[in-house]
Amino acid sequence: MAGSAASPTYPVTLAAEEPATRGGFLQRAWRVGRRRPAAIAGAVVVTLFVVMALAAPWIATSDPVRTDWAKIRKAPSWAHPFGTDDLGRDGFSRVVWGARISMQAGVFSIVLAMAIGVPVGLAAGYYRGALDQLIMRLTDAWLAFPFLILAIGLVTILGPSLVNATLAIGLGATPTYIRLTRGLVLSTKEEDYVQGARALGAGDLRVMARHILPNVVSAILVQATVAIPTAIIAEAVLSFLGLGVQPPAPSWGTMLNAAQQFLEQAPWMAYWPGLAIFTLALSFNLAGDGLRDVLDPRDY
């Protein structure tokens, strides 16, 4: 980050350096991108999936939930490039619409986790003391629940649906952000520019929002790009188990659940939804690796 390299003598002018950081970001992105074509490819594929999710009604060739008894489990053909499923629904259209559900669950759950985890971690790291102890013990206990077991427990209480699966995944990912933010805050708040801001009479909220947060945000964003593919897979798993998106909605997980019953008769039902999850998760991971290089060159 440019912030930590800035002269500590004039800490309050840091906010004014924002435009310079942006220019630096693009330049660095270009340099890293040229060196790491895989990261660029990942980012491009992620963008394509986003476009696919947003433009699903126009890309899909037919209604993803319309059943057709004349077309049950047909092998891939020109009319149905991904074949049809056990209810005669078009596989391609279902995979396209499935991107919407996966993206929703993946992105919103991590946004939720950050919305809770970052402020809580910020408070714990900034105020320390009893509050910190309480938050960290709760976080430890929360982390002890295996992600999927926690999600299953929450879905049991809330009932299975896309919204509840997203909530469960988000709550499961929250402690990671609490810990990460707290750790970053602990090291950042000792920096001279934070001390300087405090000496100039800035209040707690101002110091946290204007001086600490901007300096920890890049590490949090990098963590998010790693967490989103995990969340996407988690949604697919929950839906596969029947605890997430409910049929007939086209989720990649529920499609794989149906596919498992017809592996011998209609293997194509299993290829595409899984390949979609794999491609999206892989692309996110590749792009995330690149983003880490761009945002945090110190590691490399």
Phi, psi of 61 (to 5 degrees): -85, -20
Indicate which single residue of 3, 229, 244, 290 sits in contact with other proteins (rule: CB under 8 A): 229
Decide: is 157 part of the binding site for other proteins (CB under 8 A): yes
Beta carbon nearer to other proteins, 212 or 256: 256
Beta carbon nearer to other proteins, 72 or 152: 152
Single out the segment in contact with other proteins by CB under 8 A; choices: 44-52, 62-70, 108-116, 276-284: 276-284
Indicate which single residue of 24, 128, 147, 210 sits in contact with other proteins (rule: CB under 8 A): 147
User: What x-and-dash track marks residues 232-261 binding other proteins by CB under 8 A?
Assistant: -x--xx--xxxx------------x--xx-
Indicate which single residue of 138, 163, 217, 221 sits in contact with other proteins (rule: CB under 8 A): 138
Residue 240 token pair: 């596969």
Decide: is 231 part of the binding site for other proteins (CB under 8 A): no
DSSP-derived secondary structure for 177-237: HHHHHHHHHHHHTTSHHHHHHHHTT--HHHIIIIIIHHHHHHHHHHHHHHHHHHHHHHHHH
Q: Smallest distance, Å, CB 181 to other proteins?
A: 18
Angle between helices 18-35 and 268-295 (to 10 degrees): 130
What are the residues facing 84 on neighbouring strands? 90
Judge whether 238 and 165 are in contact, CB under 8 Å.
yes
Q: Which residue has the tokens 């019953």?
A: 261
Q: Smallest distance, Å, CB 246 to other proteins?
A: 13
Judge whether 52 and 252 are in contact, CB under 8 Å.
no
Decide: is 149 part of the binding site for other proteins (CB under 8 A): yes
Residues in the chain: 300
Q: DSSP letter at 90?
A: B
Indicate which single residue of 216, 258, 277, 295 sits in contact with other proteins (rule: CB under 8 A): 277
Q: Which residues bind other proteins (CB under 8 A)?
A: 136-138, 140-150, 152-157, 229, 233, 236-237, 240-243, 256, 259-260, 263-264, 267, 270, 273-274, 277-278, 281-282, 284-286
